[in-house]
């Protein structure tokens, strides 16, 4: 069985929902994971913000606008009076629940319930539409099988057992529809897998049922070899291995959420990125196979700060790096890049919440220099150290651009370079020209 996940834009209007319904109806049984319709989760966040700030009028304004939008969608989506009625009832019940939270104490718990409504609505609407058009589709509630443990990590054995039981209850179903993103936590409360988490749901579902393939449907024809919003002449990459895809997803390729990679990789389930607007395009296939000796793609991560700690005493000293890293751990700030020399170490972070405290603590061990306004440019491919020439190509492409840090050797799949944000576009374009478009 395959798992197909459709993102917010892919189900962003009544027409888009109808297009998705056409795509998912075939003889093969499948599980369809849906995000909330585009913009909905942001509106639900906005509603929660108003309620935290004890501003029910602000919240109600957003709620009314959103409810109106959904009533319009219902009118357009269904053909018969019977299903228009069912659709309206569905919307009504979800908005009644949202409105009930505008009157009382508002906490993290209520917020999680509000945030869950987007996926509950999109899947409810889609399932009704499929039923109206004669498809025997079954709604499998994510809240009945998707669960996280006490560490907020997916509870894999629970998910596997519960989901398979739920599927077995419906041997005659043509297809199954389920919500992305939402789950219950270890205390059975409604929770979620973090923003963008629907990809993660798809991957966890795929792993739980040993799917033959996980398809992530978006509105672009696969992972591109550079950011098409910034760089000219990018093209889709046909094949990536999981490690390459993980580096790209983490370092800024928006098409796939980084958490989605691991469950698929561990269970050896290929992930295919496909385009709802152009369903026949081949997209990108992500699997455990590596195409030898090829540089695949470039991505960039914004809002990076570099911190350099220079110690006169690092020479032959042991324990210096441990002390430095412990400071970042203490302040719960993950490090992205690291480079070292015999007298110092440079690291990058993108979370500046505890920057002041980190700098204060680091000053105990040496001279600290901070540079802000940087981006990490990451080049990904089969970059094993005994493949020759790729480092030279990358460095040559950036010959006119100041580079603050270079990191290679942490994996066989990536070279990371730190440049000024103001040079980002120039750097990405130069890399595309030299690595992919054969310009010298
Ligand atoms: N609807 C959620 C969000 O916007 C989850 C997702 O779309 O992946 O973050
Ligand atoms: Mg998404």
CB 416 within 8 A of CB 407: yes
Q: What is the mean pLDDT of residues 238-261?
A: 87
Count CA atoms within 13 Å of residue 271 on its CB side: 36
Contacts (Cβ under 8 Å, ≥6 apart) of 231: 425, 428, 429, 432
For a substitution probing ligand 1, which of 45, 116, 181, 259 has the most ligand atoms within 8 Å of its CB? 181
Q: What is the mean pLDDT of residues 103-108?
A: 93
Beta bridge partners of residue 271, listed in sequence order? 214, 286
| Ligand 1 atom closest to Cα of residue 257 | 8
The better pLDDT of the pair 14, 319 is held by: 14
Contacts (Cβ under 8 Å, ≥6 apart) of 240: 223, 248, 284, 285, 286, 296, 297, 380
Compute, in angstroms, the gap from residue 201 CA to the centroid of ligand 2: 11
Domains in the chain with CATH codes: 2-219 (3.40.1160.10), 296-435 (3.30.2130.10)
Task: Please give the pLDDT value at position 319.
Answer: 85
CB 338 within 8 A of CB 324: no
Residue 429 and residue 296: Cα distance in Å, rounded? 15
| Ligand 1 atom closest to Cα of residue 201 | 8
3-state SS class at 357: helix
Compute, in angstroms, the gap from residue 341 CA to the centroid of ligand 1: 42
Compute, in angstroms, the gap from residue 199 CA to the centroid of ligand 1: 9
Task: Please give the pLDDT value at position 255.
Answer: 76
| Ligand 1 atom closest to Cα of residue 199 | 8
Residue 429 and residue 360: Cα distance in Å, rounded? 38
Which backbone phi and psi does 307 adopt, to 5 degrees? -130, 125
The region of weakest confidence among 70-74, 142-146, 253-257 is: 253-257
Residue 185 and residue 398: Cα distance in Å, rounded? 47
Residue 32 and residue 202: Cα distance in Å, rounded? 8
Task: Please give the pLDDT value at position 316.
Answer: 58
Compute, in angstroms, the gap from residue 260 CA to the centroid of ligand 1: 13
List all residues whose CB is within 6 A of at least one atom of ligand 1: 7-8, 35-36, 41, 118, 180-181, 195-198
Q: Which protein residue has the closest C-alpha to ligand 1 atom 6?
A: 196
């Amino acid at each position: 069985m395959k798992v197909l996940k459709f993102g917010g834009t892919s189900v962003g209007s009544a027409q888009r929902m109808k297009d998705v319904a056409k795509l998912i109806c075939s003889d093969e049984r499948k599980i369809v994971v849906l995000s909330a319709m585009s913009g909905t989760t942001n509106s639900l966040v906005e509603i929660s913000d108003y309620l935290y700030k004890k501003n029910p009028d602000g919240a109600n304004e957003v709620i009314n606008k959103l409810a109106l939008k959904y009533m319009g969608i219902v009118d357009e989506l269904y053909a018969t009076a019977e299903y228009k009625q069912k659709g309206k009832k569905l919307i009504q019940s979800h908005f009644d629940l949202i409105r009930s939270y505008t009157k009382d104490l508002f906490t993290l718990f209520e917020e999680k319930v509000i945030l869950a409504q987007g996926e509950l609505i999109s899947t409810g609407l889609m399932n009704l539409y499929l039923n109206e058009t004669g498809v025997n589709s079954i709604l499998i509630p994510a809240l009945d099988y998707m669960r996280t443990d006490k560490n907020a990590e997916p509870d894999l054995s629970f998910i596997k057992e519960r989901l398979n039981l739920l599927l077995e209850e419906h041997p005659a179903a043509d297809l199954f529809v389920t919500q992305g993103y939402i789950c219950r936590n270890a205390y059975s409360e409604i929770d979620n897998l973090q923003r963008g988490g629907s990809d993660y749901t798809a991957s966890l579902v795929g792993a739980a049922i040993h799917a033959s393939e996980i398809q992530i449907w978006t509105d672009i024809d696969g992972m591109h070899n550079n950011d098409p919003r910034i760089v000219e002449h990018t093209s889709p990459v046909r094949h990536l291995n999981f490690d390459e895809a993980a580096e790209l997803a983490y370092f800024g390729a928006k098409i796939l959420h980084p958490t989605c990679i691991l469950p698929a990789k561990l269970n050896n389930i290929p992930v295919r990125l496909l385009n709802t607007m152009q369903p026949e395009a081949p997209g990108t296939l992500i699997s455990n196979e590596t195409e030898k000796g090829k540089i695949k793609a470039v991505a960039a991560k914004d809002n990076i700060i570099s911190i350099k700690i220079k110690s006169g005493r690092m020479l032959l000293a042991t324990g210096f790096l441990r002390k430095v890293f412990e400071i970042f751990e203490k302040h719960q700030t993950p490090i992205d890049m690291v480079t070292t020399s015999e007298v110092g170490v440079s690291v990058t972070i993108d979370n500046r919440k505890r920057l002041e405290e980190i700098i204060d603590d680091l000053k105990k061990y040496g001279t600290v220099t901070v540079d802000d306004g940087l981006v990490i440019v990451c080049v990904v491919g089969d970059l094993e150290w005994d493949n020759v020439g790729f480092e030279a190509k990358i460095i040559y492409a950036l010959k006119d651009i100041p580079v603050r840090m270079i990191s290679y050797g942490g994996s066989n799949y990536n070279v990371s370079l730190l440049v000024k944000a103001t040079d980002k576009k120039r750097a990405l374009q130069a890399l595309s020209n030299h690595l992919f478009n054969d310009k010298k």
